[in-house]
Chain A
Amino acid sequence: ETGVTQTPRHLVMGMTNKKSLKCEQHLGHNAMYWYKQSAKKPLELMFVYSLEERVENNSVPSRFSPECPNSSHLFLHLHTLQPEDSALYLCASSHRGQGIMNTEAFFGQGTRLTVV
Chain B
Amino acid sequence: RKEVEQDPGPFNVPEGATVAFNCTYSNSASQSFFWYRQDCRKEPKLLMSVYSSGNEDGRFTAQLNRASQYISLLIRDSKLSDSATYLCVVNPLRGGYNKLIFGAGTRLAVHP
Q: Among A97, A107, A108, point to the contact of B98 (Cβ < 8 A).
A: A97
Which of under 10, 10 to 19, 20 to 34, or 35 or more describes the interface residues of B? 20 to 34
Shortest beta-carbon distance from A91 to chain B in Å: 9
Q: Among B43, B46, B97, B105, point to the contact of A31 (Cβ < 8 A).
A: B97
Q: Is the CB of A42 within 8 A of B97?
A: no
Q: Among A35, A96, A105, point to the contact of B96 (Cβ < 8 A).
A: A96
Q: Is the CB of B32 within 8 A of A90?
A: no
Q: Among B43, B49, B102, B104, point to the contact of A109 (Cβ < 8 A).
A: B43
Q: Is the CB of B99 within 8 A of A90?
A: no
A107 to B41 alpha-carbon distance, docked (Å): 13
Q: Does B80 contact A (CB under 8 A)?
A: no
A48 to B45 alpha-carbon distance, docked (Å): 19
Least CB separation from B45: chain A residue: A107
**Which chain B residues in 45-61 approach chain A with CB under 8 Å?**
45-46, 49, 51
Q: Does B100 contact A (CB under 8 A)?
A: yes
Q: Is the CB of B96 within 8 A of A97?
A: yes
Q: Is the CB of B102 within 8 A of A43?
A: yes
Q: Is the CB of A107 within 8 A of B44?
A: yes
Least CB separation from B100: chain A residue: A105
Q: Among A2, A50, A88, point to the contact of B97 (Cβ < 8 A).
A: A50
